[in-house]
Amino acid sequence: MEDLKISISGIRGVVGKSLTVDRFLRWILAWEEKLPEGPIILARDARPHGGSLLSLAEGLLAYRGRRVLIAGLVPTPTVGVLVRDQRAAGGVMLTASHNPLEWNALKLFNHEGLILTPAEFDQLKPIFENPPEIDAYPYLPGGSSETLGDPLRAHFDSALRQVDPEIIRKRKFRVVVDGCHSVGGIAVPAILKEVGAEVVELDCTPDGQFSRGLEPIPENIQALGQEVQKNNADIGMAVDPDADRLALVSDRGEPIGEELTLVMAADAVLGAGGHGLVANLSSTLILDKVAEKHGSPMFRSKVGESHVVDLIHEKQASIGGEGNGGVILPAVQGGRDSISGALLV
């Protein structure tokens, strides 16, 4: 089925077509059965059908005896932070990232707050391709559901510990944020305001009414550049619908390019005493020069977020990422993270 994609980055489909209620529930059940004991984090981006899918997952997991913790509208990396913070068994982020509005997906986190490893995915893939019938899973008592009061707080606190907020406050930055009508429109302005930035919001209402191409690439963020010039801002920041990628616009309103987000973040981390930089083989060679500048080793992984994450942990690197605007700061969370990226650049 062309509009159904099962990969390590998630199970994606068109809602009501390839992503049916029956398939969705069977995927949730098949995954839940493989988890250790403990609560499960549920979150979503702002797609209009996300709320309904989250409610289905919430009820089903409680039916299976799980304590369900609802994070609601938060960025994908926040789910990873919450899994660790709440000592959860795993987490689900409902997001199709840069896919069109009619798509949605399950992005799954293990008990360490990391996206599935290749080994974990290989174990689950046959089950996802042919999940058991719902009747195969009995009711288990003891389930419950609760909404987390401040789901961004743990993520913010962790990211703020990696920078000097006072230095940022003294600069009194003016920043235009393009929130893509989704969760980044909540989180990115909020973290910037905590470090004293004046924030001009563009498309930051999380209503899922996408008004531009969803990848934060130069041709999709022209309106952001215009707002930067109009407001005499120092920088513009754009995210994708699940806010794991960050792209930048200069004070002249020109897109800097996704490749340079990681370059600037790595320069900040290594310049502050960090050691070790990881990027995939397709990321810019400028990163090698940044590592050399700071006397830090540079490591290259296969293409794919999970490969970058694995090599970061293997080499105990301070920072890593991908050239698509994905900054990975392992001290905060083991995945692409626009919150950490926004503070570092």
Q: What does 191-241 look like in DSSP terms, one character per residue?
A: HHHHTT-EEEEES-S-S----S-SS--GGG-HHHHHHHHHTT-SEEEEE-T
**Residues near 145 by Cβ (< 8 Å), separated by ≥ 6?**
58, 59, 62, 67, 68, 70
Q: Are residues 176 and 297 in the same domain?
A: yes
Q: Are residues 113 and 256 in the same domain?
A: no
Closest CA to 225 of 197, 259, 251, 264: 251
Domain stop point among 96, 130, 151:
151
Domain stop point among 103, 126, 151:
151
Domain span holding position 313:
155-344
Alpha-carbon Rg for the chain in angstroms: 20
pLDDT tens, position by position, 301-341: 999 899 999 999 999 999 999 999 999 999 999 999 999 99
What CA–CA distance (Å, rounded) separates 113 from 334? 7
Domain stop point among 123, 151, 179:
151
Q: How many domains does the chain have?
A: 2
DSSP 255: B
The predicted structure's pLDDT at residue 324: 92
Say how many Å lie between the first and final Cα of the chain, rounded: 41
Is residue 73 within 8 A of residue 43, CB to CB? The reply is yes
Question: Looking at residue 122, which CATH number applies to its domain?
Answer: 3.40.120.10
How many degrees, rounded to 5, is the angle at CA 45 between CA 44 and CA 51? 55
What integer is the mean pLDDT of 27-37? 95
User: How many alpha carbons lie under 13 Å from residue 106 in its C-beta half-sphere?
Assistant: 31
> Average pLDDT over the chain, rounded to whole?
96
Q: Which residue has the tokens 């984090």?
A: 41
Q: Are residues 69 and 168 in the same domain?
A: no
pLDDT tens, position by position, 136-188: 999 999 999 999 999 999 999 999 999 999 999 999 999 999 999 999 999 99
Helix count and strand count (H, E) for the chain: 12, 15
Q: Are residues 177 and 296 in the same domain?
A: yes
What CA–CA distance (Å, rounded) separates 121 from 226? 42
Q: Are residues 241 and 340 in the same domain?
A: yes
